[in-house]
């Protein structure tokens, strides 16, 4: 597992997100419910993230790339990505995860660029986009 957290652009994520080995982790808090989200993303709110890392590891079994984001990916997204990477390093758990990335410009940048947004309230997200 790499010590550093790398960034991925919205365009890169758009081309990769349909691959079965990628999980998108939305760490926004309540704004996810009214702003929409990236279709298929998993929601792990930043305010309870540390308590739910074990749940996240279970939810991403079979994935080797995780892409974290918040609204702008300036604080919550990178912080949660680092916490997750540190947890994996400390526990030395063999999860198969090779890359922990952060979405550049976050959800707001994704949506502002005209990329597809899902407004479902399904948990987990069923992937309907608008």
Catalytic residues: 70
Phi, psi (deg, nearest 5) at residue 44: -135, 90
Q: Which tokens hold the place of 22? A: 């990628």
Please give the distance of CA 3 from its chain centroid, rounded to a whole number: 18
Residues 26 and 42: beta-carbon distance below 8 Å: yes
Buried (b) or exposed (e) across 15-45, using 16+ Cβ within 10 A? eebeeeebbbbbbbbeebeeebbbbbbbebb
């Amino acid at each position: 597992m790499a010590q550093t957290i790398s960034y991925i652009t919205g365009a890169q994520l758009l081309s990769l997100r349909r691959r079965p080995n990628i999980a998108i982790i939305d760490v926004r808090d309540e704004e996810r419910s009214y702003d929409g989200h990236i279709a298929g993303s998993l929601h792990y709110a930043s305010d309870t993230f540390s308590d739910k890392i074990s749940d996240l590891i279970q939810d991403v079994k079979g994935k080797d790339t995780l892409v974290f984001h918040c609204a702008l990916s300036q604080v919550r997204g990178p912080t949660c990505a680092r916490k997750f990477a540190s947890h994996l390093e400390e526990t030395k758990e063999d999860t198969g995860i090779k890359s922990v990335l952060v979405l550049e410009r976050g959800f707001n940048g994704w949506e502002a660029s005209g990329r597809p947004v899902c407004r479902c309230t399904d948990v987990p997200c069923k992937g309907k986009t608008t």
